[in-house]
Amino acid sequence: MDGVIVIDKPAGKTSHDVVREVKKIWGIKKAGHTGTLDPLATGVLPVCLNEATKLAGFLAGEDKEYRATMLLGVTTDTMDTDGEIIRRSDDPVSEDAIRSVMLRMVGKIKQIPPAFSAVKHGGQPLYKWARKGVFPTVKPREVTIYHIDVEKISLPHVTFRVSCSKGTYIRALCSDIGDALGVGACLSGLRRVRSGMFSEKMAVALRNDVVGDAGKDLARKIMPMAELLPLLAAIEIKDQCAAKLRNGWQPSAEMLQGHDLPLLKAGDMIKFMSRGYLLAVAEMLMPVTPLSDFHGNTQVARIIRVFNY
């Protein structure tokens, strides 16, 4: 059982809780999610199973999309409504001002990770430091807000949809918007509607009674590994070459010659397929265009991951 199951995470559970339940359903030892959702949040949580855990790093790096609700006039220590209130403001804010400030957030911005987050400092997550009353200085990180669409303003609440790069904290975004408006703000509701290629239409809910054989229906929702990483150039190789790759052989110019490939450059990722299965992911060491100029045994790509079934 190798692939990805997209879980519709319920509020109140950690992402780790969901992974543990998935393991219990099918009795598997290897599973992991592709990006943490806070306990307050719901929505798309891709969970990699068995060999697909080797792809978690690739999938976690993709863009995300959320539907969020922001509470204006309330500042908390966790930047969401689960935290302790540290400031309130009743100052009036106009809808035009709200839309104007949110529009300014689109593009590349700097974010300081929340004190209560999994970002590590000195080998420990920030939330562990915060629980001790220690708040280390953390450097701002650059993230990208691709688009913000305000869906509803019903003060003090503002509901909006945002698409962003990996590593973006919507809690921090709400806090920054509140600070720019001069009244403070925190996150009061969050749903992830997309994580890379995985959408909420693909997400399935976990039930407490789904264990053992009862998980067979749920298993039909598992996306096979061959369907993952759809944007990578795919190279179908023969059994003999597949065996060599599994034994540590690196891709040569001869292996790639004769395949219809896009204009790949050094650093681009490709995937090797065998009999309809994802066999390996590799990084190009040189452009495709001069491959014919090299000796057939010249290494042209570096294997990053090899998968076994």
What span, in angstroms and rounded, lies between the C-alpha atoms of 254 and 264?
A: 16
Residue 88 corresponds to which tokens in the numbers above? 């309130």
Catalytic residue among 38, 77, 96, 239: 38
Q: How far is CA 244 from the centre of its chain?
A: 32
Q: What is the DSSP letter of 227?
A: G
Q: Is 17 a catalytic residue?
A: no
Q: Does the CA dihedral 197-173-146-102 come out positive or negative? A: positive
Query: Which letter does DSSP use for residue 212 in this model?
Result: G
User: Using an 8 Å Cβ cutoff, are 35 and 56 in contact?
Assistant: no
- Sheet order of strands, 233-236 included: 233-236, 269-274, 277-284, 301-306
C-beta separation of 221 from 29 below 8 A: no
Please tell me the total number of residues recorded for the chain in this structure: 309
Catalytic residue numbers, as ranges: 38
